[in-house]
Amino acid sequence: MVTIGIAAQAPAKRPTLVVGIMVDGLNSDYLELLKGYFGEGGFKRLMRDGVTLENVEYGPGVDRASATAMIFSGATASVNGISASTVYDTEKKIDYPILLDPSKIGNYTNETYSPSALLVSTLADEIRIDGGGTGYVYSIAPDATQAILMAGHAGNSAFWINDITGRWATTTYYKDVPTPIQT
């Protein structure tokens, strides 16, 4: 299920806050069961005022990376360039992460990723473009691929949990690392 919260305002104003939450495999019945634990200004507001996509069918053989790219770009894998989490190198006979970018350095990780394989603009990119670069886009996910795909090309930063250290990590592709993440 995907929930995208959009602040309700007059058409002439841009939203002041856009929250995108993607939870792979979350049944909407669970949200209803947990609703009593949510605050009025948090998840209840997202559920009430936001847009929820339920029972999204991506097609056969689509993994988390490809599904995330499709949701946040609005384009199919053949257009957005993200067909799966990994790509097979026929010469070296190995597979590697689709977002692998040795030209970047990992912050708080040895992983070297960037959104360079993503061939199209994402929702996050459009938010930054529409606001003339004044808006902020931060993406947080359990893994690097989802975090980077949600942040897109123009995001301020993308953060994920490093599997080895258990700490937050990012890539030098993004320039903004807030103090709470650094500490």
DSSP E strand stretches across 42-164: 51-53, 86-89, 94-97, 106-107, 138-141, 157-161
- Residue 16's pLDDT band, with cuts at 50, 70 and 90, is low
State the average pLDDT for the chain: 86
Residues 42-67: what's their mean pLDDT? Answer: 82
Q: Residue 44 in 3-state DSSP?
A: helix
- Long-range contacts formed by 62-65: CB under 8 A, 24+ apart: 64/24, 64/143, 64/145, 64/146, 65/98, 65/99, 65/145, 65/146, 65/149
Strands across the sheet containing 18-22:
18-22, 2-6, 51-53
Element (H, E) at 181: helix 179-182
Query: pTM here?
Result: 0.83
* Of the candidates 159, 178, 146, 111, the residue with the CA atom closest to the CA atom of residue 2: 146
* Of the candidates 88, 73, 61, the residue with the CA atom closest to the CA atom of residue 121: 73
- Residue 176 is predicted with a pLDDT of 87
Residues 156-177: what's their mean pLDDT? Answer: 91
Residue 2 pLDDT exceeds 80: no
Q: Residue 46 in 3-state DSSP?
A: helix
pLDDT in tens, 60-109: 778 999 999 999 999 999 999 999 999 999 999 999 999 999 999 998 89
152 contacts 123 by C-beta, under 8 angstroms: yes
Beta bridge partners of 8: none
5 contacts 45 by C-beta, under 8 angstroms: yes
Residue 58 pLDDT exceeds 70: yes
* Of the candidates 105, 121, 118, 171, the residue with the CA atom closest to the CA atom of residue 141: 171
Percent of the chain with pLDDT over 90: 49
pLDDT in tens, 95-128: 999 999 999 999 889 999 999 999 999 999 998 8
5 contacts 19 by C-beta, under 8 angstroms: yes
- Residue 94 is predicted with a pLDDT of 95
- Residue 25's pLDDT band, with cuts at 50, 70 and 90, is confident
Residue 1 pLDDT exceeds 60: no
